[in-house]
Amino acid sequence: MASLLQPDRVLYLVHGEKKIRSSLSTLYFCRYCSELRSLECVSHEVDSHYCPSCLENMPSAEAKLKKNRCANCFDCPCCMHTLSTRATNIPAPLPDDPSKTAMKKAYYLACGFCRWTSRDVGMADKSVASGGWQEPDNPHTQRINKLIEYYQQLAQREKLERDRKKLARRRPYMPLAFSQHTIHVVEKYGLGTRLQRQRPGAPITSLAGLSLKEGEDQKEINIEPAQALDEVEPLPEDYYTRPINLPEVTSLRQRLLQPDFQPAGASQLHPKHKHLLIKRSLRCRKCEHNLSKPEFNPTSIKFKIQLVAVSYIPEVRIMSIPNLRFQKECQVLLTLTNPVESITHVTLVGCEEGDPEDINSTAKVMVPTKELVLAGKDAAADYDELAEPQDFQDDPDVVAFRKSNKIGFFIKVVPQREEDGDVTVSFKIRHDFRNLAAPIRPSEEDDAPTEAIWLTHHVELSLGPLVA
């Protein structure tokens, strides 16, 4: 049953600032801290920008200049899909000889999904395939730019004043100290400093040079305050009597995607450049190591660094569930998969009474007490016919089957609550982990090349509703 393999059936607990329970496929494993990490306890950083349709890479500075939009690709203003350029042949008079007409190619934009074309809004066909399309200018651009400059200058001035006050109060042994508050002020009007995480005590070099600029930048930018008007344009006379042409009215989504104009009529919807997407890298907050770093090339989906939990922690999956009855003992078949290439020993421990992590379980569970041994993942096992099957003495009451690096085992479940809802069961997995990333110290004792440390994870299973 495919529904037993759904990701939210088996949840692992992550110890972080918040206790997060999520499936192993969404978690990362920091092998320097030897702990599970979820998306909420890592820091996300932007790696690169790229356009999703033409897959063109763009450096961050250029992306910021173009307001995170691609230069070549357009979005349909009607259904937000990517527009494609189509060509038609148009007879046009030759420039030398007006009497003869030759077939020239004319290009227009068309949407394959909703059949919108650039001719619908009155945009003329262009003679070049790309680069001829312009977005209409916002009439308020100048005023907005002037306002932005003014406020940026104001923010700088405020920040400098605050810094001066702090410096005057602080002891001389902290020359470049400044409060975290000033960093927020700098970011208030988007001065454009690179986002740097606040490390207490560490100086940020980009702000250090500001004290030098103080003498130069004395230009005062004055803005005219906005004027309130008494008279408003009157509504047209037939505003209440004119019948509505529904296809012409734009939807809210179409309107708000063009915040410059927000046209009410569909014949004024112009196409906008396509938004860029980012590739992000993840970093553990405690040890500052990268957990996930994608490749720079937008066409590649691989990772340079990929420390996902599925490739380090044994995964528990539900294989089959019998009919669960209230207060009756049922046997559930689970599988454990070993992701590493070495033999792993796994012990399962039930949760004790009053365990602070055990808040969701609605049934008592009896896990096998013996240690389960999982064979290593052998990539060549399918092709190697002469390999002897490893002989593990398996207790048939506990181990149902064994297949390369997977093992099926039974647990006994006694549902304790008769209410509606899923029967939830939790236990702890304790397994040995060999850290291959640790530096190999030249040891004179004959130690094992890598020492195993024991990790414990709290696992919760959702077994489905009770059968009456």
Partner 1 sequence: MTPFMLRRIRNRLSKKLKSINKMSDKQNAQKSAKIAAGAVVCVESEIRGEVTIGARTVVHPKARIIAEAGPIVIGEGNLIEEQALIINSYPENIAPDSEGVEPKTMTIGINNVFEVGCMSQALKIGDNNVIESKADLGRNMILTSGCIIGACCQVNTCEVIPENTVIFGSGCQRRVQTERPQPQTLQLDFLMKILPNYHHMKKTVKTTSAVTPAKN
Give the binding site for partner 1 (CB under 8 A): 78-79, 113-117, 119-120, 246-248, 266
- For the bound state, the minimum distance from the C-beta of residue 86 to partner 1, rounded and expressed in Å, comes to 11
Separation of alpha carbons 431 and 25, rounded Å? 18
Residue 282: beta bridge partners? 44, 292
Separation of alpha carbons 51 and 72, rounded Å? 9
Q: Residue 383 in contact with residue 404, Cβ under 8 Å?
A: no
- For the bound state, the minimum distance from the C-beta of residue 105 to partner 1, rounded and expressed in Å, comes to 16
Burial of 30: CB neighbours in 10 Å, binned 0-12, 13-18, 19+: buried
Q: What is the CA radius of gyration of the chain?
A: 32
* DSSP state for residue 126 in the 8-state scheme: B
Query: Which is nearer to partner 1, 118 or 344 (by Cβ)?
Result: 118
Query: Which is nearer to partner 1, 267 or 360 (by Cβ)?
Result: 267
Question: 3-state DSSP call for residue 147?
Answer: helix
- β-pairing, 42-50 with 57-58? antiparallel
Separation of alpha carbons 36 and 312, rounded Å? 10
Those residues with Cβ within 8 angstroms of residue 357's Cβ, 6 or more apart along the chain or in another chain: 13, 19, 351, 426, 458
Query: Which is nearer to partner 1, 119 or 304 (by Cβ)?
Result: 119
- For the bound state, the minimum distance from the C-beta of residue 244 to partner 1, rounded and expressed in Å, comes to 13
Q: What is the DSSP string of 36-57?
A: EE-GGGEEEEEEEEE-TTT--E
Q: Provide the b/e sequence for 188-205 (b: ≥16 CB within 10 Å).
A: ebebeeeeeeeeeeeeee
Query: Which is nearer to partner 1, 205 or 245 (by Cβ)?
Result: 245
Q: What are phi and psi of 198, to 5 degrees?
A: -85, 105
Residue 55 zone, left/alpha/beta (φ > 0; ψ -120 to 50; rest):
left
Query: Which is nearer to partner 1, 258 or 426 (by Cβ)?
Result: 258
Query: Which is nearer to partner 1, 91 or 247 (by Cβ)?
Result: 247
- For the bound state, the minimum distance from the C-beta of residue 277 to partner 1, rounded and expressed in Å, comes to 23
- For the bound state, the minimum distance from the C-beta of residue 70 to partner 1, rounded and expressed in Å, comes to 24
Query: Which is nearer to partner 1, 80 or 373 (by Cβ)?
Result: 80
Query: Which is nearer to partner 1, 64 or 119 (by Cβ)?
Result: 119
Q: Residue 7 in contact with residue 309, Cβ under 8 Å?
A: no
Q: Residue 34 in contact with residue 291, Cβ under 8 Å?
A: no
Separation of alpha carbons 49 and 57, rounded Å? 6
Question: What token pair was written down for 183?
Answer: 């960093």
- Identify which of 463, 461, 464 has the alpha carbon closest to the alpha carbon of residue 316: 461
Separation of alpha carbons 392 and 137, rounded Å? 74
- For the bound state, the minimum distance from the C-beta of residue 134 to partner 1, rounded and expressed in Å, comes to 21
Query: Which is nearer to partner 1, 114 or 287 (by Cβ)?
Result: 114
- For the bound state, the minimum distance from the C-beta of residue 251 to partner 1, rounded and expressed in Å, comes to 8
- For the bound state, the minimum distance from the C-beta of residue 115 to partner 1, rounded and expressed in Å, comes to 5
Separation of alpha carbons 30 and 7, rounded Å? 21
Query: Which is nearer to partner 1, 80 or 210 (by Cβ)?
Result: 80
Helix runs in 209-339, H state only: 210-213, 252-256
- For the bound state, the minimum distance from the C-beta of residue 52 to partner 1, rounded and expressed in Å, comes to 20
- For the bound state, the minimum distance from the C-beta of residue 387 to partner 1, rounded and expressed in Å, comes to 49
Query: Which is nearer to partner 1, 79 or 452 (by Cβ)?
Result: 79
